[in-house]
Amino acid sequence: MTTTPRVALITGAAQGIGEGLVSGYRKLGYAVVANSRSITDSDDPMVLAVPGDIAEPGVGGRVVDAALAQFGRLDTVVNNAGIFISKPFTEYTDGDYDAITGVNLRGFFEVTRAALAAMVAADHGGHVVTISTSLVDHANKQVPSALASLTKGGLNAATKALAIEYADRGIRANAVALGVVKTPMHAPDAYEALAGLHPLGKLGDVTDVVDAVLYLEQAGFVTGEILHVDGGQSAGH
Domain count, the chain: 1
Is the separation of the CB atoms in 213 and 21 below 8 Å? Answer: yes
Q: What is the mean pLDDT of residues 186-196?
A: 85
The 10s digit of each residue's pLDDT in 48-59 is 999 999 999 999
The mean of the pLDDT values for the chain is 95
pTM of the model: 0.95
Residue 2 counted as domain residue:
no
Half-sphere exposure of 115 (CA within 13 A, CB side): 32
Number of other CB atoms surrounding residue 75 within 10 Å: 24
Residue 90 counted as domain residue:
yes
Quick check: 1 pLDDT over 50?
no
Residue 235 counted as domain residue:
no
CATH code of the domain covering residue 167: 3.40.50.720
The 10s digit of each residue's pLDDT in 115-130 is 999 999 999 999 999 9
Helix (H) or strand (E) holding 157: helix 146-165
Q: What is the mean pLDDT of residues 119-148?
A: 94
Residue 39 counted as domain residue:
yes
Q: What is the mean pLDDT of residues 175-195?
A: 88
Label residue 60 by pLDDT band (50, 70, 90).
very high
Sign, CA torsion 38/44/47/48: positive
Burial class from Cβ neighbours inside 10 Å (0-12, 13-18, 19+) for residue 222 reads middle
Q: Which domain holds residue 90?
A: 7-227
